[in-house]
Amino acid sequence: MVKVTSGGKDYHPQAAALTAEAFKNDPTIRYILGTMTDKTRKAYLPAYFNTLFRAAMLNGAVFQEANDWSSCAVWMLPGRKVDNPWTMVPAGLLGMVWKMGFTPAKRMLWEYAQQSDKCKHEGLRDRDGRVIKEYHYLFFIATPTEHRGKGLASEIIAQYQERNVQDGRCIYLEATTPKSRDMYARQGFKTVGMLRLGKGTHDENANVVEGGPGVPLWAMIWRPGDKKSDGGDSH
């Protein structure tokens, strides 16, 4: 049995610490913070996610954990955004950008954001082709290595699909690895777009490679009524 609980500001510090551990080698994070050494990046990640999740919390995020913090997720509700300009200062986002430096900030706020917005505009459409303006957003979901393969992330998503999307709105997310993409696909998510960070300068794992294909992310959407298939777990 998988026990899932939900919370708000009281959940955000532990969610940040767990996500920092689970994403310490994630290709997208490695690319964004690529000017740091591996040691420096891993040491910085708890503060990085603490700031991101504080911004999410100030904008009404729902935090969930499974089996006593063996996995966790951060959900943004329809109409809410992490980068709300009114909460950037109290969340510490501006200070985080300053500390990261120019290149990581550009990669996160320009390169990633621009491609993500394009994928949302092109992929977030209803069955009649109309743009979907309000949707549930799976901001992050994380499972440390020792707890993967137990179906924890899948169960968090399944319960959210069942309980929180009775309003008929879809769920949007971006998978950062093939394994997480496949796990989401088993939950009924469909790929609707691709992002490529560092195209021409990096490979799929965020290593510097001249002419490399770039770090891939898969924009995915789940609509109420989409069926899931059997499968396991990932991030």
188's CB contacts (< 8 A; 6+ apart) are: 161, 222, 226, 227, 228, 229
pLDDT in tens, 64-93: 999 999 999 999 999 999 999 999 999 999
Distinct helix (H) and strand (E) counts, the chain: 9, 7
25 versus 99: the higher-pLDDT residue is 25
Residue 233 has pLDDT above 70, yes or no: no
pLDDT of amino acid 143: 97
Residues 102-127: what's their mean pLDDT?
A: 94
pLDDT of amino acid 168: 87
Pairwise CA distance, residues 178 & 46, whole Å: 24
- Using 50, 70 and 90 to split pLDDT, how confident is the model at 166? confident
- Using 50, 70 and 90 to split pLDDT, how confident is the model at 226? confident
Share of the chain above pLDDT 70, in %: 96
Residue 113 has pLDDT above 80, yes or no: yes
pLDDT in tens, 56-66: 999 999 999 99
Backbone angles phi, psi at 219, to 5 degrees: -75, 125
pLDDT of amino acid 232: 47
